Amino acid sequence: MPFLLMLFLTLACLPENWPEPVRWIGSPVRSVLLTWLCVLVEVGLAFAVSRRVQLQLHDTPVPRDQILRTYSRGRLVHLIGLFASYALALYYFGYGWAVQSLWTWHGRLLPGAELLLLAPFCVALLLSWTCFYDAERALGGEDHEAHEVELAAGSPRKFWSRAAYVSFHFRQNLALVFLPILLLLTEKELRRQFPALNQQWQVQASLVGIGIALVVFMTMPWILRLVLGLQSLPEGPLRDRLMATARRLRFRCSDILLWNTHGGIANAMVVGIFPFLRYVLLSDRLLEDLTPDEVEAVFGHEVGHVKHHHMLYYLVFLLASIGVLGSLVLPYQNELDEVLNLRERHDLAVLPVVGALGAYIFLVFGFLSRRCERQADIYGCRAVSCQHSGCAGHLDGLPLPDGGSCLCPTGIQTFIQALEKVALLNGISRDKPGFLQSWQHSTIARRVNFLQTLLIDPKAERRFQRRVFLVKCAFLVVLAVASVSLWLIPPHS
């Protein structure tokens, strides 16, 4: 979701001069009214999706997994509708033109025009989250009867408030997405306000922009800690255990952080390429509902991403891919504009490039990411495995081998149990969670099935690792050859 938002919002912020809308629109005010009518329609759709889930949970004997699949499809339809209605407002109703027409002073565009441009999309998203709260609360089990049962049992779980839910999703999905967007908007605003300076110092400004982007990337763990309000995992047996696991796996990080989601999400992640600025994040729901063994296995999964150098590989792969795709597509931009009849629509001229990049990332990067996730899954199993390949359970106090060098049935089963619990706690369908929730990680069912094959054939892990290594090398070789070829024989030469 964050990647999709960043790609789409960047596309919306790139045009400099928006064309006039279709003739029947007539005025900027009518364009603005139609745009906000689209916002109301999308919020109404979110309300309908949420209401349907609540009715299914309370009034019909529908299996929970089926309800989850229905809810996932509804969210996907809503998301597609949100993007489509916003694109309709920008390119057909002329909302971009309306902002540039109304937000002016003495013929000059006032600062902050792009923020107004993004306002309908952001407001629609925030109000939609407000509606989805009721569905998430119902799926979380806090209807009246379930809450009474929990109170009687003496262990009630209070679902977070609507404001906390919306605030969390805003920080989770928009705050980090808006950071690169704000950099882009700042650069546009400086060029707009100081056109002469832009012409004189264009190269220097580009270098400064690249430097700022690198600084933001390097300090992203700090930014993430600030945005999400992360705190160090409190001192106690679990922290001591995870720190001992880090030492046993020869893994270095700055800290292990508690990710407070008000019990809404069971998840973990690792951020930061450099050991001196690297954090492992564990959500509160994950720590509450998983056993210490399962938490250690999830922690090992995040360590596996670092041990296999996935983040560094992703960075190199994406930068090389963007460079190659740009070198291939941009020289033919004029021909594409001619074929697609975009010569008079400069606002749409960037669509082929962004569309090609988006499709490439979803297909190719998604393919790589799913295999890297399985590598991390295996390492999560190794993190809680002993030296006995046929063990039937670990004795309390049994020391595990250093470096995650072994793989045993107990370690595999522990990580499988953690995966199954994470799917259940997050309300994710085990088999059909939807493309947007599985394009990077695959489904829980497929990941579990893969790990179960290792119980039957331990040698399958070595064959898998060899295949993934060859695939990752092949992609880098292809990108390197393409880069050299384009440098030696540029297009249109």
CB 352 within 8 A of CB 334: no
CB 35 within 8 A of CB 111: no
Domain range summary for the chain, segments of one domain joined by +:
1-200
Structure token pair of residue 400: 């595990």
Q: What is the pLDDT of residue 145?
A: 41
- Return d(Cα 137, Cα 313) in angstroms, integer: 38
- Return d(Cα 286, Cα 282) in angstroms, integer: 7
Adjacency order of strands within the sheet including 231-232: 231-232, 255-259, 279-283, 268-271
- Return d(Cα 133, Cα 453) in angstroms, integer: 38
Q: What is the pLDDT of residue 146?
A: 40
Torsion of CA 132, 138, 144, 150, to 10 degrees: -130
Q: What is the pLDDT of residue 438?
A: 78
Q: Consecutive sets of 10 residues in the chain, 493 residues long: mean pLDDT of each? A: 70 74 85 94 95 84 77 87 90 88 81 86 93 86 42 53 86 72 74 62 58 74 86 94 95 93 86 91 93 95 95 90 79 60 57 75 90 96 90 81 90 95 84 76 92 92 95 94 83 59
Q: What is the pLDDT of residues 368-385, one digit of tens each?
A: 999 999 999 999 999 999
Q: What is the pLDDT of residue 344?
A: 56
CATH number of the structural domain 1-200: 1.20.1420
What does pTM read for this prediction?
A: 0.82
Q: What is the pLDDT of residues 205-227, one digit of tens each?
A: 556 656 666 777 788 888 888 88
- Return d(Cα 11, Cα 96) in angstroms, integer: 12
Task: Reduce the DSSP state of residue 255 to 3 states and report it.
Answer: strand
CB 300 within 8 A of CB 403: no
